[in-house]
Amino acid sequence: MIELAIGAILVALVFDFLNGFHDAANSIATIVGTRILRPLHAVTLAAAANFIGPFLFGVAVATTIGKGIINPDFVTLNIIIGALAGAIVWDIITWLLGLPTSSSHALVGGIIGAGIAGAGSHVLILDGIQKVAIGILVSPIAGFIAAFATGLAIMTIFAKAKPHAVNSAFGRLQLVSATYFSLTHGANDGQKTMGVIALILLTQGVITKFSVPYYVIIMAALAISLGTFFGGWRIVKTMAVKITQLRPYQGFAAETSAASILATLAWLGIPASTTHAISGSIMGVGAVRRMSAVRWGIGKRIVWAWIITIPASAAVSFVIMLFIKAISH
């Protein structure tokens, strides 16, 4: 059984790595899109900030994931492995398609699907699922509104300034806003795997009540930061270029708005999606100049990918869990 537990932890860390790999676009899209940093420099900055983030914002999100989606009393190692496998498969599929979907919600869907297949629908905790639903609704809408308002305020304040001077100033400020966003990305997304590993330790009696040991924080933070460093450029292209053409002040507005939303939700223990927050923010700042500046067709494709992520990953995990049950008997 100890070998299976170690295997489950390794699978969790693989998911965490893929989370960083898949979501690297979230951390660096705007600063790459405005050409303030080269991709390698941007992703190095993001990876370092991703590592630090979980140490700054507590573990409220990890607690929601670990014991707020399904009742931990019914959780088995097989259910955890099924949940992680489903989330990983969905992440790989969407990465191949270049879709900036949410790894966080893929994991939530995986937990739901594997939980139902392994123990029945009665193990679901509706309050925790409602928290996830709040994050899904709030992060893109709030991101759009906040980024639109911030971008409009910047345009109004600097209306008479020379464009070159404005771009130069906000180019430097983007280094700050990109770091801020990467910190909150690590805080929110990095905590998901911490919750899963803590749950594995609880099922094996390593810890007697749900908590997130310091060494778990280090392992998960390292995995997501490495994933970010080696991140996928397919999604960067969608986020940085295809949605709208960004100027430095817009990149600053988008990153600052999305990061502030993620920081707030992390403190509240709501598992939000960095993908949703930054996508909504990029659309918001794009719409400041004119509504036609945003390629709404790309935005619609992204939204559909958001909508299907939880049910699709839940379905994949459900099937994987049934297969695990079949071969374990």
The pLDDT tens digits of the residues spanning 71-106 come to 988 989 999 999 999 999 988 888 787 776 777 788
53: which residues sit within 8 A by CB, 6+ positions away? 182, 183, 184, 185, 186, 187, 188, 190, 221
Buried b (16+ CB within 10 A) or exposed e, 211-249: ebeeebbebbbbbbbbbbbebbebbbebbbebbbebbbb
pLDDT score recorded for residue 283: 83
Rounded average pLDDT over 50-68:
84
106-149 residue pLDDT tens? 899 999 999 999 999 999 998 888 888 888 888 888 999 999 99
pLDDT score recorded for residue 25: 59
Give the CA diameter of the chain.
73
Rounded average pLDDT over 288-299:
62
pLDDT score recorded for residue 322: 95
Q: Which two tokens stand for residue 22?
A: 């898949």
Scanning the structure block, which residue is given the tokens 């969608």?
238
pLDDT score recorded for residue 83: 94
Count how many domains the chain has: 1
157-210 residue pLDDT tens? 998 888 888 888 988 898 898 889 888 888 888 788 899 999 999 988 899 888
224-267 residue pLDDT tens? 888 888 865 555 555 545 555 678 888 899 989 999 999 998 88
Q: Which two tokens stand for residue 133?
A: 């639903």
| pLDDT of 32 strictly over 90 | no
Q: What range defines the domain where residue 167 resides? A: 2-328
Rounded Cα distance between 296 and 304, Å, is: 12
| pLDDT of 152 strictly over 70 | yes
The closest alpha carbon to 249, from 138, 162, 141, 140, belongs to 162
